[in-house]
Structure 1
């Protein structure tokens, strides 16, 4: 049987794979595992519950809250807020754990359930496994005064906005910013946060109706933001995904500034201020070679992890490092939060523009983004590819051809019988040629 939890919680098509019954069972099981300490202390566990504006979020929120209350936990409903807000509020309210209902950048019909432990930290695999195992056991059924209660938290957004204001270290006075909220969880907080810092804000896709989240907008559809930045003559544009744990940017010329470039800018900022722990930036294997080259020039070490924000977080916590993230714009600043926070990232990036008096395009030019080609190769056994001699020889020849001016990466898909062949080189033609040659060898395995 497949594992219920994926790389980022439990996801599926709402009311199909991800049903109200499943949500209720997950909630009750989570109380048994994550609320065990509260139960041992003879008190009801307290749980923060937030969601993005998908229509199915209302259904799943009701089922989750019912499951929590039925297991004897009190639910603190914080409404439509970003995922990092739920992580922050879990700590700020002193809750035993938190739950976010969102499928991030996925299309509207999908949804997901993500848990945070006390303090707002993501769960380890073994804790997720314990919750899944608890679903098949007998759940406690308190009665009378033991039944959990549901309360709304009208100050949740204000608390989160105050946190963002404190986490920043400068103003945005004089900047004009276009914000694409993806008709998602940041529709309210993102424009407010940037405006509170002093920017003139032009908000687009900030009118969620439950159905339009991520629909042709947000961080996965930057063309709309690019056009808006040029139309309004803005200094920059910021785009979030459906749950606002990511941020990508557009400079005043309309050019995209991706997560690698944002990390480079923020790493240099922290390094100059002596706040980049051990001179280390944490990135995944998918970050562009141009980021590594730029960091080497600046005297910054890049620690590389597997793909996925959980691996970035593990490395950050293990070394006590100051900054990490992914090319997708999921960037973590541990001093300010326990998970990626797109709105915080946008604030820090825009503040760097103001503090240096330098346009975003010039700041982003610190790194040269090498052309990157990715080919998904269907195979019969993705694990056999790594052991194949012909593939190893093809990779060795490709690396010799690139001669240090590029790189090649083979990575099996986590969910399909595919091997992803990624090549970076000084020119797009060179990257395409090398990738195609290696992909043909991989396909023959």
Structure 2
């Protein structure tokens, strides 16, 4: 069955346009409720969290209506990070967790992500079953079995207390000045509070959400704001989250940025030294830099690559029994602590390295020399298939032959936006630019 609604990270689109309409949210709620109430009992519950987008109110209400109509009892968490939903789904013995967020996308987009009772994101197979239910007739619950909905006032506090337990015992952040950029998103309350309670002097950025400023010139996809704050305040380190706080970028005292690959390299090396890196393996996607692979190989460690999407990273980690993985984009998955990427917990682990070693952030953020990498995006209209054009295929094959043995090319459709992503790596930067330019040009002409 072809996936129509779900992409690489749930259902996502422009708010108030298909599929991010109140009507579709209602149907998704009904379908998910029916999927998780197969035994017909009335004791089922679902937790719903959201980020700070204006459209979150609309989708939250519609999902609640759909879920309660099938007999699910709904617990509304309010604005919390995506990883908090995964944690609370399991902690509160819910049958289902829902996060309303479009992550790093602009405010006019939104999305719906589902978590199973174990706190992990649903598999492709489960999502396909929910899609099938959306397209069919979903019988409602009997009047006496309609679900209830209520707000959970201490949801944020539960996550804050848990996050602090992941910081190594015996260490503190006293004397450390930390810039935390919350992207005007879901972690705007939780992240500064956790850091302050662990002893840090906190410089908060992006903590004034108004419904339309999420990810706007702030957060992990716009690190300039955090970098400026680090330099201006003389901070020791900066932590930059995205809108739902499942991604992170780390900045040193000079405002230089470490992406997910560098953070994973640091953690993998440290955990391997301590005998904590299960199977001596790090899981990352096909987008991760070749430099990371060389770094691990030099230490006798292994890199397992997956398709793009933190969900696929987690699935591989669970299959292999590995406990560290992530994406270059800043998803850092540590299954010893969380069921999905958690930007705040990853930031805490980085701060623990500063506290443990006494080294400045600048000595920790550059673990390996990156192979020159270039990524360009080409936007296309929904329903179009530019990559299937013969001329595009011919250009791709010619450039793959040209770069063979010197680097690699990766071309894919985004699972969250109507974009063709053209990425290449090569030590010869002139060749790299020519290869990417020719392929992008061919795709643009096809578009």
Query: Taking structure 1 as the reference length, what is the TM-score of the superposition?
Result: 0.91
Q: How far is 1:396 from its partner?
A: 3.0
Q: Deviations over 1:29-86 (max 9, x none)?
A: 101102324x3xx333100011111111111111111111111110011111001101
Taking only aligned residues, the RMSD between alpha carbons, in angstroms, comes to 2.5
Counterpart of 2:15 in structure 1 is 14
* Structure 1 partner of 2:238: 237
1:297 matched to which residue of 2?
Answer: 298
* 1:22/1:408 CA distance change after superposition, 3 Å: same
Query: Hey, what does 1:212 align to over in structure 2?
Result: 213
Secondary structure of 1:123 counterpart: coil
Checking the alignment, whether the CA contact within 8 Å between 2:186 and 2:245 is kept in structure 1 is: yes
Partner residue, 2:411: 411
Indicate if the aligned counterparts of 1:385 and 1:391 stay in contact, CA closer than 8 A. no
Long gaps (5+) in structure 2: none
Corresponding position of 1:158: 157
What count of residue pairs does the alignment treat as equivalent?
437
**C-alpha displacement at 1:421, in angstroms?**
4.0
Correspondences of 1:158-307 after superposition (within 5 Å): 158-169=157-168, 170-307=171-308
Q: Deviations over 1:154-178 (max 9, x none)?
A: 1211111121112222432321110
Query: 1:94 offset after TM fit, Å?
Result: 0.2
Distance 2:15 2:128 in 1: 22
Tell me the distance in 1 between the aligned counterparts of 2:420 and 2:189. Answer: 40
* Mapping of residues 21-420 of structure 1, within 5 Å: 21-37=23-39, 39=40, 42-169=41-168, 170-375=171-376, 382-383=387-388, 391-392=396-397, 394-400=399-405, 402=406, 407-414=407-414, 420=421
When structure 1 is superposed on structure 2, of 425-434 and 335-344 the one drifting more is 425-434
Change (3 A) 1:389 1:145: closer
Matched position secondary structure for 1:335: coil
Whole-angstrom distance in 1 between the partners of 2:392 and 2:220: 37
Preserved contact between residue 98 and residue 113 of structure 2 (Cα < 8 Å): yes
Assess if the C-alpha contact under 8 Å between 1:323 and 1:334 holds in 2: yes
Relative to structure 1, is the Cα distance of residues 49 and 388 closer, same or farther in structure 2, using a 3 angstrom cutoff? Answer: closer
Q: CA deviation at 1:184?
A: 0.4
Bigger Cα displacement from structure 2, 1-10 vs 98-107: 1-10
Mean Cα displacement is larger for which, 380-389 or 296-305?
380-389
State the 1:410 CA deviation: 3.0
Confirm or deny: 8 A CA contact 1:408 1:421 kept in the other structure.
no
Are the structure 2 counterparts of residues 328 and 134 from structure 1 closer, same or farther at C-alpha, using a change threshold of 3 Å?
same
Deviates more, 1:391-400 or 1:163-172: 391-400
Q: Deviations over 1:233-258 (max 9, x none)?
A: 11110111111110111110111111
Distance 2:180 2:418 in 1: 38
Secondary structure at the residue paired with 2:250?
strand
Equivalent residues of 1:116, 1:123 under 8 A apart: yes
Q: Which runs of 5+ in 1 are unaligned?
A: none
* 8 Å contact from structure 1 (residues 60, 101) kept in 2: yes
3-state SS in 1 of match to 2:6? coil
- Alpha-carbon offset, residue 320 of structure 1: 0.9
Shift of 1:424: 2.2
